[in-house]
Amino acid sequence: MAGREVRHERCVAERDLFGASTLEEFIGCSYRWFVNRELRPQAIDPDPDALESGGIVHTTLERLFREPPTVERRPTEAGCERWIARARELVRDVAAERGWDVDTAPASISLARLDAVVARFIRRDAATGGPMAPEAELLEVRFGDGPDDSFGPADFGSFRLHGAIDRIDVADGRALIRDYKLSSKAPSAKNLSKQGRLQLPLYMLAARGFGLDPIGGLYNPLAATKDDRPRGLLDKEQKGALIPAGKDAHVGTDFFEAEPFEEVLETARREAVAVVDSIRAGRIDRDPHDGACPAWCTLAPVCRIERSIPLPDDEDEDEAAA
């Protein structure tokens, strides 16, 4: 292993540009990161259903908000059904572009499920969205050093960050970063660091380089769940102003005063720097986050780590009522 570590160190020691998902994967397990990001074994199976469905939903929402079916830039309760009808058309267009035969029975079942996912999100956005709205140029906005990037990479001193942000809502120079997740749960603000979720706070810091003033960042869970409220980090000063304060809109404990709000961002920055240092040093080990391999990881035959029974999620139950 020592020889491999040296060769790996030579390969990445001078690397300057990193993606947030790369850093999160390293936190999740440095060995899994090494296999997936550096060895890059070629997949022989088609994309997993979740990945394929997520791609369709992301593209559908991008096109929907880029060319809305009403004069408003986001759905309202009055025009909600028009947005849902247009989204249904887009889901099929995108699926067909990805090679689906949309007229088959299996595809019809999958498409109906995606229709429900998008419709649920649109209804929530219409009911609890507030005054901020996305702008076309800030949908799937890319930043980095590529020719198609709208902004340059975010400079974090010892490294630079590139990425793509699903959606940025704006009003009065303020910005709300949104990330779509085709899952039933999203981390709360206080658990971002605990769960190794750096992407959202790092994207909030990156948005400052776009000339925006981020007042929050939210993960939007799109899968079926009893509580589909977005989770993340919100500026308490904007509660009831630019950010709706209703119980059905957001979780109260995700609102932070100015100082702890900045501390969440600073913690993410420090952790990102530490991860980059570890990557450059070639510190690779079988070290799954919290000591438990996720059930979906397929690298057990490669890393040969002993699998343990996963622990239940300890997300505070009382937050659902906040």
In the predicted model, what is the mean pLDDT of residues 72-94? Answer: 96
The pLDDT of residue 7 is above 70: no
Range of the domain at 77: 49-128
| DSSP H helical ranges for the chain | 2-12, 20-28, 30-33, 49-66, 80-97, 105-128, 199-208, 258-281, 300-303
Q: Which of 246, 180, 168 is nearest to 219 (CA)?
A: 180
In a domain, 170, yes or no: yes
Count of domains forming the chain: 2
Average pLDDT, the chain: 88
307 pLDDT tier (thresholds 50, 70, 90): low
The pLDDT of residue 166 is above 90: yes
Beta carbons within 8 Å of 46's beta carbon, 6+ residues apart: 52
Q: What is the pLDDT of residue 100?
A: 94
Q: What is the pLDDT of residues 191-222, one digit of tens each?
A: 888 888 999 999 999 999 999 999 999 999 88
Q: What is the pLDDT of residue 48?
A: 62
Q: What is the pLDDT of residue 45?
A: 60
Q: Which of 97, 128, 159 is at the close of a domain?
A: 128
pTM: 0.86
Tell me how far apart the alpha carbons of residues 127 and 120 are, in angstroms, rounded to a whole number: 11
In the predicted model, what is the mean pLDDT of residues 250-259? Answer: 95
DSSP annotation of 117 reads H
- Residue 114 burial (CB count, 10 A): 22
Tell me how far apart the alpha carbons of residues 305 and 54 are, in angstroms, rounded to a whole number: 29
Q: Which residues pair with 143 in a beta bridge?
A: 151, 163
Is 239 or 11 the better-scoring residue by pLDDT?
239
In the predicted model, what is the mean pLDDT of residues 283-289? Answer: 89
In a shared domain, residues 146 and 290: yes
Highest averaged pLDDT of the listed ranges 30-39, 185-194, 234-243: 234-243
In a domain, 275, yes or no: yes
In a domain, 313, yes or no: no
In a shared domain, residues 3 and 83: no
Q: Please tell me whether residue 213 adopts helix, strand or coil conformation.
A: strand
Q: Which residues pair with 231 in a beta bridge?
A: 219
Percent of the chain with pLDDT over 90: 66
- Contact of 161 with 19, CB cutoff 8 Å: yes
In a shared domain, residues 110 and 150: no
In a domain, 322, yes or no: no
Q: Which of 157, 168, 194, 143 is nearest to 269 (CA)?
A: 157
In a shared domain, residues 53 and 36: no
In the predicted model, what is the mean pLDDT of residues 242-270? Answer: 94
Q: Which of 212, 69, 234 is nearest to 141 (CA)?
A: 212
